Amino acid sequence: MTQRVSRVYNTRRRVLVTGGAGFIGSHLCERLLADGCDVLCVDNFFTGTKDNIAHLIGSPHFELMRHDVTFPLYVEVDEIYNLACPAAPIHYQYDPVQTTKTSVHGAINVLGLAKRVKAKILQASTSEVYGDPQVHPQTEAYWGHVNPVGLRACYDEGKRCAETLFFDYHRQHKLRVKVARIFNTYGPRMHSNDGRVVSNFVVQALKGEPLTVYGDGSQTRSFCYVDDLVEGLVRLMASPDEFTGPVNMGNPVEFTIGELAQQVIALTGSKSRIEGKPLPSDDPRQRQPDIALAKAKLGWVPTVALAEGLPKTIDYFRKGV
Ligand code: NAD
Ligand code: UDP
Ligand code: UDP
């Protein structure tokens, strides 16, 4: 009843973004506002910051709420994007118990909320649900190879359990759910000191420090520009109810880490040299998403090449370094 009355006065879609002050979340909030939504951004600022969404504060259609998703949340919304969760190993291993709680208790709370208000709900899952994969590239049909007691388990198993909860709420309570398995994403507002390769290289190049290439640099990765990912998430949310995913989202174009280092040096005009460092013992040789499902169901393919996305990322870091 409440919902019906409020719709008379407000025809905008009311969208909750948990983790909205983070790297990806802040871009998603921006996009949803541009699409004419009323956006409620919920964040506990563990790895996110108000700086990421400062430019949105003051918009009459943007609301910021400090809240930890491991606690219940009672709000009225039409759609929920659940992004709250630290994403980089140094962040999620800082307080691993809290990481699991964020994924699992967080999922239960937002699913309970979605059930009460009949909202559509999307989970930001991860390629890490595949663990240390024995199949390349990974399709959604692959069940993964995860160590349940290792240092990464708080993240990997937390995200796997969140997926389980999403599908059980779907089967048991008929919730409209969507699960996106996100692969390496980069762009402005990514963390400058989380040890990930893109931010490391860009910051090192801008400071004129050596770029630390682990191993011989022949291992490959694929990098998705954040605007492409956000487009994928928005399309997934808008897809027919029968399409729940899980669906891979990432850029399948592979680069060697050595090539990435060269590109960063060229684009920054840096005098930095490349310095070899030992390869971490569990470093995968290759990580590449199979995005055939996203292409078929959502008509989605990434369109921003590394040569286009890297300069925008470099500009962002240039202002902060
Ligand atoms: P991020 O750390 O920048 O964003 C996560 C946000 O969640 C932060 O703002 C943080 O403060 C908030 N948060 C953490 N715990 C919370 C809690 N208990 N309650 C409320 N807010 C909380 O990371 P990101 O790269 O923007 O990642 C966003 C989502 O996408 C995460 O769920 C992550 O697992 C997923 N993901 C990201 C990548 C990537 O390459 N960046 C890859 C795979 C999956
Ligand atoms: N919940 C919430 N907001 C809501 C409705 C529920 O945070 O608007 C939380 C509530 O704390 C509950 C959880 O979501 O523990 C799961 O809710 P559900 O209705 O599925 O289960 P139950 O209340 O029966 O545990
Ligand atoms: N890497 C590197 N130098 C760095 C940081 C990372 O050569 O300063 C390499 C790392 O060994 C890996 C790749 O870059 O092969 C991607 O590392 P990252 O931690 O960013 O992501 P993931 O391994 O999870 O894909």
Ligand 3 atom with minimal separation from the 214 CA: 7
159, 186, 197, 213: which to mutate for ligand 3, most atoms within 8 A of CB?
197
Ligand 3 atom with minimal separation from the 279 CA: 11
The arithmetic mean of pLDDT across residues 226-231, rounded, is 98
pLDDT at 79 over 60: yes
Q: Is 219 in the pocket of ligand 3 (CB under 6 A)?
A: yes
Q: Note whether 261 and 310 are within 8 A (CB).
A: no
Q: Is 213 in the pocket of ligand 3 (CB under 6 A)?
A: yes
Cis (ω within 30 of 0) for the bond into 188? no
Ligand 1 atom with minimal separation from the 159 CA: 34
Ligand 3 atom with minimal separation from the 201 CA: 8
Q: Is 61 in the pocket of ligand 3 (CB under 6 A)?
A: no
pLDDT at 133 over 90: no
pLDDT tier, 181 (very low <50, low <70, confident <90, very high otherwise)? very high
pLDDT at 47 over 60: yes
Q: Are strands 254-256 and 38-43 parallel, antiparallel or unpaired?
A: unpaired
Q: Whose CA is nearest to atom 17 of ligand 2?
A: 112
pLDDT tier, 8 (very low <50, low <70, confident <90, very high otherwise)? low
Ligand 2 atom with minimal separation from the 169 CA: 20
Marked catalytic residue, from 81, 92, 130, 155: 155
User: SS3 for the chain, per residue?
Assistant: CHHHHHHHHCCCCEEEEECCCCHHHHHHHHHHHHCCCEEEEEECCCCCCHHHHCCCECECCEEEEECCCCCCCCCCCCEEEECCCCCCHHHHCCCHHHHHHHHHHHHHHHHHHHHHHCCEEEEEEEHHHHECCCCCCECCCCCCECCCCCCCHHHHHHHHHHHHHHHHHHHHHCCCEEEEEECCEECCCCCCCCCCHHHHHHHHHHHCCCEEEECCCCCEEECEEHHHHHHHHHHHHHCCCCCCCCEEECCCCEEEHHHHHHHHHHHHCCCCCEEEECCCCCCCCECCECCHHHHHHHCCCCCCCHHHHHHHHHHHHHHHC
Q: Which ligand is nearest to the CA of 117?
A: 2
Q: Which ligand is nearest to the CA of 222?
A: 3
pLDDT tier, 1 (very low <50, low <70, confident <90, very high otherwise)? very low
Q: What is the pLDDT of residue 285?
A: 82
CA angle 129, 82, 234 (to 5 degrees): 95
Q: Note whether 192 and 199 are within 8 A (CB).
A: yes
- CA distance from start to end of the chain: 52
Q: What is the pLDDT of residues 254-274, one digit of tens each?
A: 999 999 999 999 999 999 999
Q: Provide the b/e sequence for 72-107 (b: ≥16 CB within 10 Å).
A: ebeeebbbbbbbbbbbbeebbeeeeebbbbbbbbbb
Which residues form ligand 2's pocket by a CB distance below 6 Å? 72-74, 108-109, 112-113, 115-116
Structure-token pair, residue 136: 């390349």
CA 112 to ligand 2 center in whole angstroms: 4
Q: Whose CA is nearest to atom 18 of ligand 2?
A: 112
The amino acid occupying position 305 is A
CA 216 to ligand 1 center in whole angstroms: 31
Q: What is the pLDDT of residue 286?
A: 83
Q: What is the pLDDT of residue 13?
A: 97
Q: Which ligand is nearest to the CA of 107?
A: 2
Q: Is 212 in the pocket of ligand 3 (CB under 6 A)?
A: yes
pLDDT at 127 over 90: yes
Q: Whose CA is nearest to atom 28 of ligand 1?
A: 83
Rounded CA separation 211/204 (Å): 6
Rounded CA separation 130/239 (Å): 24
pLDDT at 146 over 80: yes
**Half-sphere exposure of residue 166: CA atoms within 13 angstroms, side-chain side:** 27
Q: Which ligand is nearest to the CA of 233?
A: 1
Nearest residue to 218 (alpha-carbon basis) of 265, 257, 254, 275:
257
Q: Is 243 in the pocket of ligand 1 (CB under 6 A)?
A: no
The arithmetic mean of pLDDT across residues 193-221, rounded, is 96
Burial of 22 (0-12, 13-18, 19+ CB in 10 A): buried
CA 8 to ligand 2 center in whole angstroms: 27
Nearest residue to 54 (alpha-carbon basis) of 29, 34, 36:
29
Residue 92 designated active-site = no
